[in-house]
């Protein structure tokens, strides 16, 4: 393919959201150095303006769909869907963080700049049409998130979380790069479309074995990022140790972007060799659902319980990928949108409830919340019921479409086992509901302060979104179906 050395105006329009967030993030870093402590309260507002402008840029860029920058990036319905999703996660993360940072005396521009840079990396990932660009986007997002995990430098839990995340993440990235190098060696290209064409015409058995090994190595890198078994071990420790609003962000944005890349790479470049990678995906999906749900049963820390829950939900999305059909891709997209809303809402409640130093994060600390703050408890209940998959919530239709895709792909046993592990999950979610509504108020609930404006906005937005997807799933599903054919 001829290389366009000079990008056109349309190339820059297609890259507009990333340009806006990079400029705003850099501006915040500059302002951080020249503003007084009293003026640091402007950074959340600047971040929100930047993210809203980037969101507008996504919709504007969608009018100029197509490949850009020598076919390294592509703006299509699939990329637009995930761009909107990760930027939306960023907006809710900013709203959830302000009260927490003030409480911890850690209000700083670098926090919001890192959020913006991480989201920029995620947007590059979801529009990347080339393995090297995927790696660049992944590293931009990951490095910023590593720093955010250890943001409270004087907190040993934060330091431990950041170090574990960084070391294990770097190890997983090495697998990814090794797989990319093998792909390039076997095909002479890192472009996803070109790799697919080459694999369709490849007849050498030795080369196909090498390609299969490369796909396995790349699978390891992606499985770590989405916390899929057997590469999930980092998630509980990092989720528990990181600041609560950072955990909120990590559990939704980076995971959604990583799954988007997972789908694009394996459904386009590696589609001709699907028989070789499908066993990896369905076996990982089954193991992820089992480990996540059964490990969550024994947890007493809410953040750790939600971490194992997040692992289990990654398993459900892996079921959709294993289905290897357009319905499965659309189901995965819908589920990631629903999961992001309900998980953000759940972690936002934890962020509010934990108090300074995150003293109150055990399940028993939530005793009596239903009587002391009924609205907060009611919103938390919506998120927990959606995580279970109760009807009239986004989680219900998310699981329904995923298991339907598995049945359509004749993966009946995987759908049945997924439903059984989902039934196990009901226990640990309902246990928290019982504690909130059927136990006497604890010390934590009797001293709980009212919701701040940012947390309140996040909770209501997430709850309304969760219910909307449960009552009118076609709002997202129709767009997901139209966007699940890559390049359209």
The continuous run of DSSP H or E covering 325 comes out as: none
Confidence at 1, pLDDT banded by 50, 70, 90: very low
> Which residues have C-beta within 8 Å of that of residue 16, sequence separation ≥ 6?
54, 57, 60, 61
Q: Mean pLDDT over residues 139-161, rounded?
A: 91
Measured CA to CA, the distance from residue 441 to residue 422 in angstroms comes to 30
Whole-number pLDDT of residue 153: 85
Q: CA torsion sign, 160 to 166 to 168 to 171?
A: negative
pLDDT for 481 beyond 90: no
Distance CA 352, CA 95 (A): 12
What are 14-44's pLDDT values in tens digits? 999 999 999 999 999 999 888 877 777 889 9
- CA 470/CA 386 separation, integer angstroms: 9
Lowest mean pLDDT among 256-260, 273-277, 402-406: 273-277
CA distances from 172 to 218, 226, 316 (A): 9, 11, 22
Q: What's the mean pLDDT in 212-231?
A: 90
Q: What are phi and psi of 182, to 5 degrees?
A: -65, -40
- pLDDT of 146 > 50? The answer is yes
Q: Shortest CA distance to 314 belongs to which of 287, 349, 348?
A: 287
pLDDT at 277: 82
Determine which of 117-121, 259-263, 338-342, 370-374 has the lowest per-residue pLDDT on average. 370-374
Buried b (16+ CB within 10 A) or exposed e, 205-221: eeebebbbbbbebbbbb
Q: Which helix (H) or strand (E) holds 67?
A: strand 66-68
306 contacts: CB under 8 Å, gap ≥ 6: 239, 251, 343, 346, 347, 350
pTM: 0.94
In the prediction, which pLDDT does 239 show?
Answer: 93
- In the 8-state DSSP scheme, what is residue 450? P
- Report the interhelical angle of 326-354 vs 474-483 (nearest 10°): 130
Alpha helices (H) along 324-393: 326-354, 369-372, 374-388
- Residue 53: pLDDT band (50, 70, 90) is very high
Residue 12 has pLDDT above 50, yes or no: yes
């Amino acid at each position: 393919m001829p290389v366009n050395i000079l990008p056109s105006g349309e190339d820059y329009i297609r890259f507009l959201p990333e340009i806006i967030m990079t400029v705003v993030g850099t501006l915040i870093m500059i302002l951080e150095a020249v503003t007084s402590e009293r003026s640091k309260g402007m950074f959340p507002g600047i971040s929100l303006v930047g993210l809203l402008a980037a969101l507008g840029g996504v919709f504007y860029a969608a009018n100029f769909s197509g490949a850009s920058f020598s076919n390294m990036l592509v703006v299509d319905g699939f990329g637009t869907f995930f761009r909107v999703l990760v930027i939306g996660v960023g907006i809710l993360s900013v709203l959830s963080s302000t009260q927490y940072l003030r409480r911890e005396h850690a209000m700083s521009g670098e926090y919001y700049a890192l959020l913006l840079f991480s989201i920029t990396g995620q947007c590059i990932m979801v529009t990347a049409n080339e393995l090297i660009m995927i790696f660049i986007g992944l590293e931009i997002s990951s490095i910023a998130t590593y720093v955010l995990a250890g943001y409270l430098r004087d907190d040993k839990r934060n330091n431990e979380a950041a170090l574990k995340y960084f070391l294990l993440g770097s190890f997983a990235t090495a697998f990814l790069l090794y797989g990319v190098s093998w792909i390039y060696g076997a095909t002479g290209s890192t472009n996803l479309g070109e790799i697919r064409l080459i694999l369709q015409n490849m007849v050498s058995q030795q080369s196909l074995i090498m390609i299969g090994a490369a796909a396995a190595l790349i699978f390891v890198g992606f499985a770590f990022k989405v916390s899929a078994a057997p590469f999930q071990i980092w998630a509980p420790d990092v989720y528990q140790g990181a600041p609560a609003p950072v955990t909120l962000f990590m559990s939704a944005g980076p995971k959604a972007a990583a799954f988007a890349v997972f789908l694009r790479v394996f459904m386009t470049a590696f589609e001709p060799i699907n028989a070789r990678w499908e066993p990896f995906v369905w076996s990982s999906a089954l193991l992820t659902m089992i480990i996540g749900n059964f490990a969550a049963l024994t947890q007493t820390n809410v953040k750790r319980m939600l971490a194992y829950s997040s692992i289990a939900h990654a398993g459900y999305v892996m079921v959709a990928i294993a289905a290897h059909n357009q319905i499965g891709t659309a189901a995965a997209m819908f589920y990631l949108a629903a999961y992001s809303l309900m998980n953000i809402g759940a972690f936002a409640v934890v962020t509010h409830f934990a108090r300074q130093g995150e003293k109150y994060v055990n399940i028993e600390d939530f005793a009596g919340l239903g009587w002391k703050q009924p609205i907060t408890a009611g919103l938390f209940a919506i998120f927990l019921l959606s995580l279970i998959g109760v009807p009239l919530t986004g989680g219900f239709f998310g699981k329904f479409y995923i298991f339907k895709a598995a049945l359509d792909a004749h993966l009946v046993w995987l759908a049945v086992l997924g439903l059984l592990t989902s039934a196990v999950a009901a226990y640990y979610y309902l246990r928290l509901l019982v504690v909130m509504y059927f136990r006497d108020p604890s010390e934590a609930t009797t001293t709980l302060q009212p919701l701040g404006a940012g947390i309140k906005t996040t909770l209501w937005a997430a709850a309304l979104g969760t219910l909307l997807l449960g009552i009118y799933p076609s709002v997202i599903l129709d767009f997901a179906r139209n966007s699940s054919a890559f390049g359209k």
